Amino acid sequence: MKYADIIIDISHERLDKTFEYIVPDELESQVFEGVQVVIPFGASNRAITGYVVGLHDEPGFDVTKLKPIARVVKDSIAIESQLISLAAFLKRNYGSTMNQALKTVIPIKKKENEKLKKEITLAIPVEQARIELNEMLTKRHAIGKERLLKELLEIDVLDWELATKKLEVSSTHIRDLEKKGIIRVDSVRTFRNPHMNASATKKHIVLNEEQEAAAEQIKADIDTGRRKTYLIHGVTGSGKTEVYMDVMEHVINMGQQVIVLIPEIALTYQTVMRFYTRFGDKVSILNSRMSPGERFDQFERAKAGDISIMVGPRSALFTPFANLGLIIIDEEHETSYKSEVVPRYHARETAVYRAGLTGATVILGSATPSLEAYSRAQAGEYKLITLHNRAQGQDMASCEIVDLRAELQSGNRSMLSRRLKELMADRLAKKQQIMLFLNRRGLMGFVSCRACGKPLKCPHCDVALHLHNGGVMKCHYCGFTTKAVKNCPSCGSKYIGSFKAGTQRLEEVVKETFPGTRVLRMDADTTSGKNGHEEILSAFAAHEADVLIGTQMIVKGHDFANVTLVGIIAADISLNESDFHSGERTFQLLTQAVGRAGRGTEPGVAVIQTYQPENYAVVASANQDYDSFFAQEFAYRKLLSYPPCSHILGIQVSSEKQKDAVNQADILANVIKQKDPEIVIMGPEDAYIGKLKDVYRRVIYVKADDYDRLVIVKDAIDKFLLEQKEYRSTSTWFDFDPISTI
């Protein structure tokens, strides 16, 4: 006999409330998570509908008090069913309670006393607004206001939220213009999207041959009812977005809806406007700065059929479109597609699952596909489409590698190599623009030799060791520990140490080397203000600076036609991250950075500075050769059986009591051994950050070729934890195929 947990009210705050019913034998084959059922409810046994959210073999209550499910609602295609199935998928494959999973897919209901929406309109005639705008353009520091005015010249009514959040115009700027009588701000009751003026300048783009072939292939499959997952591997600037939009239009014309995932960092004015210009108010945008109420609103509009395209970060995947036809994941390799809270789902796999529920098509796109996606494409699981050329036929930037070891030998200790300086001087003289890129990730901690370039690595795991206080170095996968060395174990040099360099220092160096150069810096410090990103980028686009310095933030999705030189200050930083993904991340970052150069009419050059010029990730990105990178990286993963050649389950145990965390992790390791004596277990060890906010964290990694074997391990731990009475101070969570060291 089976027993079902049923919810009767699908709203976020009622998800905890489930009712248990008996599954009659004759219905057993039809009852699964997500299915809609009719049940007798309350004392009067009135028939109501509910959804099955859980199934188990043992009753949770006195069986004599349980009632049986009356019937299953046939062909229940309700969107709620889909979302519950999706939640069940998350729970099973990523580890969480059903409740956590349901809360991930179902948005919070808005509060009763919701704030009034505000709308912005022009208060002066269009001609006069043009004059105001021209005046502003002659001044500096008016970028926000300028953008707002430009917008209002194209759109009659602009939503306040859209102006402040999506277009990133500060409220001070809006109020300023209101005071001057240039614009009006009115309160309204309903939320609506900006209306595009009929006269809005629509740049009509004709797909080039490669783009056309890509789009036609997907559309032909859709028309003949073949629903697949495609991976579009297109070089930077190959026009992937245009291909997406062409297929989107096709799907929308069929009366279906589309979800477009883009990484939060690329959710800029530029990108958002491309979708608005093409699809007008069929489009809605989600972003992480929205309040739960606003997100709920957007989801309600989707459910009601008011919109047919949702653009947003990973959570947009749960948009309740009833007739979903297409899911697009742009920059598929981005790490932000993996959730960093439980359930730690990956949007790629979840999208493919959701598409499977409704027969939707999935398009993944990237210039640097993840090892996961590309290996699946090679195995024929995804259909590979390649765009070899830039959209308007521009050449890819040429690339030079500078060996920093040689620089050191010749006495140059500056962050800028001689070659980079030379090219910078040339570009500055020609009034062309330069981007300098310094990856900050993994900046702290790794130790490498400045003479031979080799980082100090764990002998067991082949990842860089991490320097800790007290001069010990440690591997965060297996716990291998060694004392910090004075001389390089490879070449004996004493020039060994940790790498310290930041964007701020780089800015100083540039200004010292080229006095009078106008420099903009974009990093976490300079973009903390609400409008930081956009203001810096628009200022650079308007050529208000010659050099843009930045962290990985500046490499994505920006088109600056006048940039003809890109300098990568230290490729080693990401190369030496203590994580087996470091080669892949380096290749991605370098390729994206190189792709920023030469987008306009002038050809571009990229200079990659590194202590490891022979490293395959560096060489392959300099040659823009994805295939060679993939072949070598895949061989490395296979050799050490890292994903995608295997799967890893990370288990983190934490407690304010160190002893409890340690003991509990040991206990769980034993639970795993008992369940699966042959499985590979690493640890327990201190987590990457062993103690955070007074909480001690231990981690166990379990490795297996078969994903389901890890799911079985996870279920065994869940079951054990449910019954365990001791160590209540500890908490445990799972991370399947973690994207960074946990």
Name the token pair of 322.
């009833």
Nearer to ligand ADP, 106 or 590 (CB): 590
- Scanning 36-44, 232-240, 492-500, 727-735 for contacts with ligand ADP by CB under 6 A, the matching segment is 232-240
How would DSSP label each residue in 136-198?
HHHSSS-HHHHHHHHHHHHBSEEEHHIIIIIS---HHHHHHHHHTTSEEEEEESS--PPPBPT
Q: What is the largest CA-CA distance in the chain?
A: 90
- Provide CB contacts within 8 A for 654, sequence distance 6+: 661, 687, 695, 696, 697, 698, 730, 731, 732
Nearer to ligand ADP, 80 or 242 (CB): 242
CA atoms of 599 and 545, how far apart (whole Å)? 18
Determine, following the binding rule CB under 6 A, whether residue 591 of this chain makes contact with ligand ADP: no
Determine, following the binding rule CB under 5 A, whether residue 485 of this chain makes contact with Zn ion: no
Q: Residues 496 to 535: which contact ligand ADP by CB under 6 A?
A: none
Nearer to Zn ion, 377 or 573 (CB): 573
Beta bridge partners of 682: 701
Determine, following the binding rule CB under 6 A, whether residue 559 of this chain makes contact with ligand ADP: yes
Q: Residues 337-376 vs ligand ADP: string with x where CB under 6 A?
A: ----------------------------------------
- Scanning 28-36, 199-207, 369-377, 653-661 for contacts with ligand ADP by CB under 6 A, the matching segment is 199-207
Residue 237 site contact among Zn ion, ligand ADP, none (CB < 5 to 8 Å, cut-off depends on kind): ligand ADP
Nearer to ligand ADP, 184 or 543 (CB): 543
Q: How far is the CB of 623 from ligand ADP (least distance, A)?
A: 19
Residue in 133, 149, 311, 461 binding Zn ion, rule: CB under 5 A: 461
Name the token pair of 398.
């040429």
Helical (H) or strand (E) element with 130: helix 126-138
Nearer to ligand ADP, 238 or 339 (CB): 238
604 contacts 563 by C-beta, under 8 angstroms: yes
- Scanning 93-101, 201-209, 652-660, 715-723 for contacts with ligand ADP by CB under 6 A, the matching segment is 201-209
70 contacts 342 by C-beta, under 8 angstroms: no
Structure-token match 């965390």, residue found: 661
Residue 239 site contact among Zn ion, ligand ADP, none (CB < 5 to 8 Å, cut-off depends on kind): ligand ADP
Residue in 22, 153, 478, 485 binding Zn ion, rule: CB under 5 A: 478
Q: Which burial class, exposed, middle or buried, applies to 528 when counting CB atoms under 10 A from its CB (0-12, 13-18, 19+)? A: exposed
Determine, following the binding rule CB under 6 A, whether residue 391 of this chain makes contact with ligand ADP: yes
Distance (Å) of CA 196 to CA 129, 200, 268: 18, 6, 18
Structure-token match 């004075």, residue found: 486
Residue in 242, 332, 572, 660 binding ligand ADP, rule: CB under 6 A: 242
- Scanning 20-28, 488-496, 587-595, 626-634 for contacts with Zn ion by CB under 5 A, the matching segment is 488-496
HEC sequence for 358-373: HCCEEEEEECCCCHHH
CA atoms of 609 and 373, how far apart (whole Å)? 29
Q: How far is the CB of 219 from Zn ion (least distance, A)?
A: 49
Q: How far is the CB of 365 from ligand ADP (least distance, A)?
A: 7
Determine, following the binding rule CB under 5 A, whether residue 724 of this chain makes contact with Zn ion: no
Determine, following the binding rule CB under 6 A, whether residue 392 of this chain makes contact with ligand ADP: yes
551 contacts 592 by C-beta, under 8 angstroms: no
Residue 679 site contact among Zn ion, ligand ADP, none (CB < 5 to 8 Å, cut-off depends on kind): none
Count of residues engaged in binding Zn ion, rule: CB under 5 A: 14
User: Shortest Cβ contact with ligand ADP: which residue?
Assistant: 239
Nearer to Zn ion, 342 or 451 (CB): 451
Phi and psi angles of residue 685, each rounded to the nearest 5 degrees, phi first: -140, 165
474 contacts 468 by C-beta, under 8 angstroms: yes
Q: How far is the CB of 391 from ligand ADP (least distance, A)?
A: 3
Determine, following the binding rule CB under 5 A, whether residue 493 of this chain makes contact with Zn ion: yes
Q: Which burial class, exposed, middle or buried, applies to 395 when counting CB atoms under 10 A from its CB (0-12, 13-18, 19+)? A: exposed
Determine, following the binding rule CB under 6 A, whether residue 240 of this chain makes contact with ligand ADP: yes
DSSP state of 267: -
Nearer to Zn ion, 564 or 609 (CB): 609
Amino acid at 318: F
User: CA geometry: angle at 629 spanning 626 and 634, to 5°?
Assistant: 120
Half-sphere exposure of 455 (CA within 13 A, CB side): 30
Residue in 144, 234, 550, 650 binding ligand ADP, rule: CB under 6 A: 234
Name the token pair of 85.
């199935």
Determine, following the binding rule CB under 6 A, whether residue 655 of this chain makes contact with ligand ADP: no
Residue in 93, 193, 229, 238 binding ligand ADP, rule: CB under 6 A: 238
Q: Residues 288-327 vs Zn ion: string with x where CB under 5 A?
A: ----------------------------------------
Residue in 82, 85, 193, 211 binding ligand ADP, rule: CB under 6 A: 211
Q: How far is the CB of 293 from ligand ADP (least distance, A)?
A: 32
Helical (H) or strand (E) element with 274: helix 269-279
Q: Residues 282 to 311: which contact ligand ADP by CB under 6 A?
A: none
- Scanning 203-211, 220-228, 520-528, 617-625 for contacts with ligand ADP by CB under 6 A, the matching segment is 203-211
Determine, following the binding rule CB under 6 A, whether residue 205 of this chain makes contact with ligand ADP: yes
Pairing status of strand 157-159 against strand 383-387: unpaired
Determine, following the binding rule CB under 6 A, whether residue 395 of this chain makes contact with ligand ADP: no
Dihedral over Cα of 721, 726, 728, 730: its sign: negative
User: Helix, strand or coil for residue 79?
Assistant: helix
- Scanning 204-212, 289-297, 348-356, 566-574 for contacts with ligand ADP by CB under 6 A, the matching segment is 204-212
Determine, following the binding rule CB under 6 A, whether residue 576 of this chain makes contact with ligand ADP: no
CA nearest to 517, candidates 540, 546, 537: 546
Q: Residues 441 to 460: which contact Zn ion by CB under 5 A?
A: 449, 451-452, 458, 460
CA atoms of 53 and 5, how far apart (whole Å)? 6
Q: How far is the CB of 330 from ligand ADP (least distance, A)?
A: 7
User: Helix, strand or coil for residue 120?
Assistant: strand
Q: Which residues bind Zn ion (CB under 5 A)?
A: 449, 451-452, 458, 460-461, 475, 477-478, 480, 488, 490-491, 493
- Interface residues toward ligand ADP, by CB under 6 A: 205-208, 211, 234, 236-242, 391-392, 559
